[in-house]
Amino acid sequence: AQTVTQSQPEMSVQEAETVTLSCTYDTSESNYYLFWYKQPPSRQMILVIRQEAYKQQNATENRFSVNFQKAAKSFSLKISDSQLGDTAMYFCAFMKHPTGTASKLTFGTGTRLQVTL
Amino acid sequence: KAGVTQTPRYLIKTRGQQVTLSCSPISGHRSVSWYQQTPGQGLQFLFEYFSETQRNKGNFPGRFSGRQFSNSRSEMNVSTLELGDSALYLCASSLALTGGSGELFFGEGSRLTVL
């Protein structure tokens, strides 16, 4: 079974600053995906960024980037130039590589990020 | 393209009743999965349906059940409601292609309160 751990329940960052959210995971799988999902106060979960485990290059999506350390089983999210709209719960999630038999996500407990003026 | 639609958005039930929640996936998505979100337990996987077949199930009692129709719409049912079933129930759909992106698209959820 997979586990995902987010050790920072809450974080705060000032607008325009950079913040890093931590995530570690445990799995015996060799091929898998990692995700960061964002859940704003309106509740709809949206994908921020994804990383395929077999790719060594860290994923980036505009102001969002990850630091993926496969050996350490670490997957942190860096948000640059933070904006008020980044205020949300952030969930780290794991999925075994889709094989057509399952697409189940295992989530961490989340980090509540508050962006302040 | 319409997103994932869940109905109802809010509902209040009393202990012992049953409830049915509905989810319409994004057009073309054949996989629908359900998650329960609570402050204490976080996000927990309930089950996944693909082409009308349940192909994965989480660790929930038999009171929780679901089904998927030929148009990929899905329903989940909770019978004999307990106070602890109060939660936000999230539905997610995906293309579920072998080797695909794995991205799940979530609905806004159904907030169930059990009194």
Q: Report pLDDT digits (tens) over B38-52.
A: 998 999 999 999 989
Q: Do A107 and B42 touch (CB under 8 A)?
A: yes
Contact B102 A95 (CB under 8 A): yes
Q: Which residues contact B115 (CB under 8 A, 6 or more apart)?
A: B12, B13, B14, B15, B83
Q: Determine the Cα angle at B75 with ends B71 and B80, to 5°.
A: 160
C-alpha distance from A91 to closest chain B C-alpha (Å): 9
Q: What is the rounded distance in angstroms from the CA atom of residue B1 to the CA atom of residue B58?
A: 30
Task: Provide mean pLDDT across the span A30-51.
Answer: 92
Q: Across the interface, do B102 and A99 touch by the CB < 8 Å criterion?
A: no
Residues near B40 by Cβ (< 8 Å), separated by ≥ 6?
Answer: none
Q: Could you tell me if B43 lies within 8 Å of chain A, comparing CB atoms?
A: yes
**The pLDDT of residue B5 is above 70:** yes
Q: Are the CB atoms for A6 and A92 separated by under 8 Å?
A: yes
What is the pLDDT at residue B98?
A: 63
On chain B, the residues whose CB falls within 8 A of the CB of A108 are 42
Which range is least confidently modeled, A61-70, B54-63, B96-105?
B96-105
How far is the C-alpha of B25 from the C-alpha of B64, rounded, in Å? 20
Pairing label, strands A3-5, A24-26: antiparallel
Of A35, A97, A103, the CB nearest to B31: A103
User: DSSP assignment, residue B63?
Assistant: T
Q: Chain B: nearest CA to A32, how far in angstroms?
A: 10
What pLDDT digit, counting tens, does each position of A67-110 carry? Answer: 999 999 999 999 999 999 999 999 999 998 766 556 789 999 99
- Answer for the pair A43, A57: CB distance below 8 angstroms, yes or no: no
Q: Which residue has the higher pLDDT, B64 or B103?
A: B64
Computed over every residue of chain A, the mean pLDDT equals 93
